Amino acid sequence: MPTTAITARLPEAAPQQDAQLPYPRKLFVEVTSRCNLHCRMCVKHSSAIRAPEGDMTGETYAALLPAMPHLNGLVLNGVGEPLLHRNLETFIRLARQHMPPEGWVGFQTNGHLLTESRAHALLDAGLDRICLSIDAVSPELFSTCRAGGDVDHMERALANLAAARAARPGSPLAVGVEFVVMRDNLHELPATLRWAAERGADFAIVSHVLPYAPGMSGQAVFGTNTEESMRFYREWQARAEREGIDIRRYFDVVWRFRFTEEETRITSFIREMTEAAREADVPLHLHNLLRDADAHVPEAEAVFDAARAVAREHGLHLRLPALHPRNLRHCPAVDEGGAFIAWDGKVAPCYFLWRDYHCHMYGMRKQVVGRFFGTVGPAQGQDIIDVWNGPEYRAFRDRVTAKGYPFCTNCNVYPCDDIETTTFETDCYGEPVPCGDCPWCLGLLQCMGQEVG
């Protein structure tokens, strides 16, 4: 049987934190799950699984206060629109009273409710960072991406923030934008960054779309192969061309009972290449490589280069995602001491495992099962420190930071029964953490709460 995938034996080095800190260093707090828009790329409106809606109560939020003296970051958003919560400014003010001076409080918003008075109120409460979701500047494309939205509202929101900052010389507020890149809006990225910078944006975060609905699966612009495997393959592909070997015919001939001389050369070459990849610990997926699955990536690379040029020109701090999955095994939540708290007080480890939903990676449907380690609030009598130090949550963080899970997307049986299940227990390596197929771990998804590397 031919070898069609090789997974690296050892993970690359990645930043790590002590998984057993007695308190979290960063909290992602979903103050509400309600929203005023219907964005097509959002899990809230695209997933087949619907979650109940609600707002976080003051009592539930109070259960997070014991961790705040230790936080370096607090992000007040989840699946909903934070500006819908009437106590948002109160939550920010409480956080600033309890957090260390170097810690920051921020949230991401669609900006449509950001009036001038609200901008002033947010700065008065002590907001440090705000990130507006802008996926295009063409009015028609913007409204397609953000159903119910209007780019004029974004311009007003940025103007209101600029006015609020101008009224407070020395204000620490950093204003940013997030752009969810898809095939439909890829070409608008440089123009959107320029538009935002000219209206006062300080930073920009670009993230790939995670397709939650089958109709969105063709929108992803990232590749299927790692940068390492692409470099390795291109070297061997060039050698094959020099030797007159058409390795693209491999899967057409490998199952034949008898080989011609040419077919023998093809199969022997592939065997030598895969053995060399194994020796070099390079993950190699022949199906993806030989069918040129990443042929679309050079276009995205050119757009990203143009985006970098715009950022340099305007002094915009720009964070771009990887265009190929990274075999890094870096969890931006657990490794950085983070935890996610839903509006109803349920505690999850990250944005990937924050609820049950379907997504479509590389054209394949995947079921994600949420992982929760407790609920904070007066009804349960637990605060976030109690949940954080619970034995199950501590064991989970231990397994994640050990980096023993596989690299799923470069496996020829992906998605296997170990991953595609509603009752996940362990993966093919025997690991109880479903991180081998996480797009955050692969460097494809980003948010304002991640450390800048």
Lowest pLDDT segment from 8-17, 97-106, 303-312: 8-17
pLDDT surpassing 90 at residue 410: no
Name, of 148-152, 175-179, 210-214, 410-414, the range with top average pLDDT.
Answer: 175-179
Alpha-carbon torsion (427, 47, 32, 81), positive or negative: positive
Q: How far is CA 319 from each of CA 173, 207, 323, rounded to the nearest angstrom?
A: 18, 9, 12
Mean of the per-residue pLDDT values for the chain?
Answer: 89
Angle subtended at Cα 369 by Cα 443 and Cα 179, rounded to the nearest 5 degrees? 35
For CA atoms 251, 255, 256, 260, the dihedral sign is positive
Q: 20 vs 355, which has greater pLDDT? A: 355
Residue 7 pLDDT more than 90?
no
Cα separation, 194 vs 390, whole angstroms: 47
pLDDT band at 5 (very low <50, low <70, confident <90, very high): very low
CA atoms within 13 A on the CB side of 71: 26
pLDDT at 275 over 50: yes
Q: What is residue 405's predicted lDDT score, i.e. its pLDDT?
A: 85
3-state secondary structure the chain: CCCCEECCCCCCCCCCCCCCCCCCCEEEECCECCCCCEECCCHHHHCCCCCCCCECCHHHHHCCHHHHHHCCEEECCCCCCHHHCCCHHHHHHHHHHHCCCCCEEEEEECCCCCCHHHHHHHHHHCCCEEEEECCCCCHHHHHHHEECCCHHHHHHHHHHHHHHHHCCCCCCCEEEEEEEECCCCHHHHHHHHHHHHHCCCCEEEEEECCCCCHHHHHHCCCCCCCHHHHHHHHHHHHHHHHCCCCHHHHHHHCCCCCCCHHHHHHHHHHHHHHHHHHHCCCCEEHHHHHCCCCCCHHHHHHHHHHHHHHHHHHCCEEECCCCCCCCCCCCCCCCCCEEEECCCCEEECCCCCCCCEEEEECCEEEEECCCCCCECECCCCECHHHHHCCHHHHHHHHHHHHCCCCCHHHCCCCCCCCCCCCCCCCCCCCCCCCCCCCCCCCCCCCCCCCCCC
Q: Which long-range contacts does 275-282 make (Cβ < 8 Å, 24+ apart)?
A: 276/236, 277/6, 277/229, 277/232, 278/6, 280/232, 281/8, 281/9, 281/10, 282/6, 282/8, 282/228, 282/229, 282/232
143-176 confidence digits (pLDDT tens): 999 988 999 999 999 999 999 999 999 999 999 9
Residue 2, pLDDT above cutoff 60: no
Displacement of CA 230 from its chain's centroid (Å): 22
The percentage of residues in the chain with a pLDDT greater than 90, rounded to a whole number, is: 66
Separation between Cα atoms, residue 361 and residue 438, nearest integer Å: 10
Q: What is the pLDDT of residue 251?
A: 93
The most distant pair of C-alpha atoms in the chain lies apart, rounded to whole Å, by 80
The more confident residue out of 3 and 377 is: 377
Q: How far apart are CA 32 and CA 82, in angstroms?
A: 6
More confident residue, 268 or 18: 268
Cis preceding linkage at 415, omega within 30: yes
Dig out the tokens for 177 from the structure: 């934008």
* Local confidence band at 329 (pLDDT 50, 70, 90 cut-offs): confident
Whether 12 has a pLDDT exceeding 60, the answer reads no
How large a percentage of the chain has pLDDT more than 70? 91
Q: For residue range 212-260, list pLDDT tens digits in order.
A: 888 888 899 999 888 888 999 999 999 999 999 999 999 999 998 889 9
Question: Could you tell me the pTM of the whole model?
Answer: 0.90
Would you state the pLDDT for residue 18?
Answer: 52
| pLDDT, tens digit (0-9, with 9 covering 90-100), for 46-76 | 665 566 799 999 999 999 999 999 999 999 9
The one-letter amino acid code at 434 reads P
For 128-151, what is the mean pLDDT? 94
Give the pLDDT band of residue 429 (cuts 50, 70, 90).
confident
Q: Which residue has the tokens 């935890």?
A: 339
